[in-house]
Structure 1
Amino acid sequence: MDQLLKKVTVLEPENPNKSTALFGGKASGILNWNDLAYPHFYDFREQIRSLFWRASEVDMTHDIKQFPELSPAERNAFLKIIGLLATLDGPQTDIALRIAHYSTDPSVKAIMATIADQESEHNHSYAYVLSSVATYDQQIETFEYGRKDPVLLKRNERIKQVYNEFASRPTLLNVLKAMVYSALLEGLFFYSGFAFFYHLARHQKMVGTSTMISYINRDELQHGRFIGELFRATLAEHPEHNTEEFAGWVYDQFRHAVEQETTWSRYILQDIEGIDLGEMEGYIQYRANKMLRLLGLSDLYENRTENPMKWIRAYADNFDGTKTDFFEQKSRQYVKVGDLNGFDEL
């Protein structure tokens, strides 16, 4: 039976400083970055910390002038996509902290705290953008989309279920499932929205907003990379969950997520001139394959190894490292992301 995890106490000096396990282990609570169970986690810490930025640093002067000049379809998509992003990044702050509460590795706690802080700034950035270009009533309405828009509600149903199940019943399996959805959120759910803002910037529209989005995108890439690392390391410590059944569950969630993201992109971008919805569907499938490899699984979508929307790479940073066959390999030995290559495109 998958036993409930206990919320970790703050300080237990009788335990060793180096944690004995990522979840369900023992550690004193004293964090020495030079004495970690997973020393390369320090590199993740440094990479994520180096991304510090604030929404108020982005100049929105030109966006304020351009927003009224967008087409009605562009303004509608702009506001609804901001609403989607806010709907997801708010809970992501919470879920990062909840994962930290149950990890017995103090380095994981510290990294997840930084991720939570950055997700909070992402959420703030959407309010900052709206306060720059929209009326107060439009701002309020935009943040209501996640509660009322039927397409958004259906799209977010499973992530709500998985996150709330982890919150109410924090077992190791539910932690792993929450990590899967965190990876989906960081690496797939945002991307048709990101593409819309980059499309505008391509045509010299709302460049301030697209700059903000590129900062968020860069953060999410690093967050997804660490979550993938934590997921595989946790499975390596708990091979009883490294099963074909669980792998099948992960694949099913990715299929469903791609279907929902594709439906959302068609709903929100159908009237946007210059965006090819078929190309967008291919891009979503391409992103799904990338995130599956980051979690140690194989591609779901054949012939989606190349990014069909290469122009997007001009607007956001890239990063390296993935693993392709964690579940399938005969040897269950854990290998860190930094030892492997291949995650070098958006």
Structure 2
Amino acid sequence: MSELLLERAKTLEPRNPNKSTGIFGGKSSGILNWNDIAYPHWYKMYKRLVGNYWQADEVNMASDVKQFPTLTKEEQDAYLKIIGLLSTLDAPQTRTALLFSLYATDPSVQSIMAVIAQQEAVHNESYSYVLSSVVSLKDQNESFELGRKDPVLLKRNDAIMNHYNAFVDEPTIENILRTMVYTILLEGMFFYSGFAFFYNLARHNKMVGTSTMVSYINRDELEHGRFISEMFRATLAENPEYNNEQFIEWVYESFKQSVDLEIEWSTYVLKNVDGIDLEEMAGYVKYRANKMLRMMGLSELYREHVENPMKWIRAYVDNFDGTKTDFFEQTSRQYTKTSDLNGFDDL
């Protein structure tokens, strides 16, 4: 198996064909004609991503400003820790999407990754936005420090850090594939105990502004996970020497370890939060892992968790197996957009 380092894709190379001969390590002129790309259905993915455009300050946080001081101490602590987790996960995603783009020789992938990078930047901005609405700058900074200091979170993120940095140091096909696996885990599973916390608050009519923001992020992450899964499958098909028992076993082991770490984290951060059953939460993590494995074209690891054990969460999250619902068409929650920072004019 070759460990040849990939070169960054040329910006323009007229001697090469417009339709790329490979996602990574192929040849392409750099000219993008969406009507003549190697994977035509990716244009629909691009259109869905572009259609999800939103901005953080569109969400009215006025009610959250009033409600945060009324949350229990346990809910406040979990709120700040989970925002710290989400920011730690999303911050590297902007750069990782751009790194994929730098080495992708398929210009359609470059364009899709540009949209994903922009959305990840908005996600990270949104965490600053919601925290600036409800706590002091000192508390905001402490929340963002968790990714560097909290031992459970550091342990939880260690494998992500190692594989992402390996891709930076050695841009090989194998390291790109491994980074895709952890990106899929991140987009499709690692966020979800955090998302569940905010949706649990919302179903008790608490912090609905924050929940709205999380719903937007969740919708984006579902699309990101879907595209990266397809890119993983296509890259593996183009490089069949990596489609072997050893690599696939590594994928399964990575999922198992990540599920265990996510359950450990969710137990740590949600153990004192009313309304969330930790056993159900563990089952939901395994359900999400199964879902992402299926999207990658692999078998489920947790046969007893093929159904969603947290049925209530479906009211708050888009689902690939169901009908996609526009946020402002939902009847269970009514949201108000505002152009004024944090909706303070509504106080």
Percent identity, aligned pairs only, is 63
CA distance in 2, matches of 1:286, 1:40: 27
CA distance in 1, matches of 2:148, 2:102: 27
Q: Which residue of 1 aligns with 2:284?
A: 283
Q: Which residue of 2 aligns with 1:228?
A: 229
CA distance in 1, matches of 2:23, 2:81: 38
Q: Which residue of 2 aligns with 1:256?
A: 257
CA distance in 2, matches of 1:318, 1:155: 26
Q: Which residue of 1 aligns with 2:10?
A: 9
CA distance in 2, matches of 1:168, 1:295: 25
Amino acid at match of 1:37: A
Amino acid at match of 2:292: M
Q: Which residue of 2 aligns with 1:198?
A: 199
Q: Secondary structure at the match of 1:303?
A: helix
CA distance in 2, matches of 1:192, 1:204: 19
Amino acid at match of 1:65: K
CA distance in 2, matches of 1:29, 1:303: 46
1:31 aligns to 2:29 (yes or no): no
Higher relative contact order (CA 8 A, sep 6+): 2
Q: Secondary structure at the match of 2:303?
A: coil
Q: Which residue of 1 aligns with 2:328?
A: none
1:310 aligns to 2:303 (yes or no): no
The gaps in structure 1 that reach 5 residues or longer are 322-346
Amino acid at match of 1:128: Y
Q: Which residue of 2 aligns with 1:240?
A: 241
Question: Where do residues 101-250 of structure 1 align in structure 2 (5 Å cutoff)?
Answer: 101-250=102-251
Question: How many angstroms does 1:228 deviate by?
Answer: 0.4
Q: Which residue of 2 aligns with 1:41?
A: 42
CA distance in 2, matches of 1:206, 1:157: 31
Higher alpha-carbon deviation: 3-12 or 203-212: 3-12
Amino acid at match of 1:109: Q
Question: How many angstroms does 1:88 deviate by?
Answer: 0.7
Question: How many angstroms does 1:320 deviate by?
Answer: 4.3
CA distance in 1, matches of 2:307, 2:61: 34
Amino acid at match of 2:241: E
1:72 aligns to 2:73 (yes or no): yes
Question: How many angstroms does 1:158 deviate by?
Answer: 0.2
CA distance in 1, matches of 2:142, 2:275: 27
CA distance in 2, matches of 1:57, 1:3: 46
CA distance in 2, matches of 1:103, 1:2: 17
Q: Deviations along 1:93-130, whole A, 9 cap, x unmatched?
A: 11111011001000000000100000000000000000
**Contact kept? 1:198, 1:210, Cα under 8 Å:** yes
Q: Which residue of 1 aligns with 2:269?
A: 268
Question: How many angstroms does 1:316 deviate by?
Answer: 1.6
CA distance in 2, matches of 1:32, 1:179: 25
Q: Which residue of 2 aligns with 1:92?
A: 93
Amino acid at match of 2:160: I
Q: Which residue of 2 aligns with 1:20?
A: 21
**Contact kept? 1:55, 1:212, Cα under 8 Å:** yes
**Contact kept? 1:11, 1:30, Cα under 8 Å:** yes
Pairwise CA RMSD: 0.8
Question: How many angstroms does 1:273 deviate by?
Answer: 1.2
Question: How many angstroms does 1:236 deviate by?
Answer: 0.7
**Contact kept? 1:215, 1:316, Cα under 8 Å:** no
Q: Secondary structure at the match of 2:53?
A: coil
Q: Deviations along 1:74-101, whole A, 9 cap, x unmatched?
A: 0000000000000010001111110110
Amino acid at match of 1:81: I
CA distance in 2, matches of 1:59, 1:319: 27
Q: Secondary structure at the match of 2:305?
A: coil
Amino acid at match of 2:41: H
Q: Deviations along 1:200-242, whole A, 9 cap, x unmatched?
A: 0010000000000010000000000000000000111110000
Question: How many angstroms does 1:2 deviate by?
Answer: 2.1
Amino acid at match of 1:303: E
Question: How many angstroms does 1:303 deviate by?
Answer: 1.2
Q: Secondary structure at the match of 2:15?
A: coil
CA distance in 2, matches of 1:276, 1:140: 30
- Aligned pairs, how many? 321
CA distance in 1, matches of 2:300, 2:63: 41
Question: How many angstroms does 1:152 deviate by?
Answer: 0.4
Amino acid at match of 2:68: F
Question: How many angstroms does 1:312 deviate by?
Answer: 0.5
Q: TM-score, normalised by structure 1?
A: 0.92
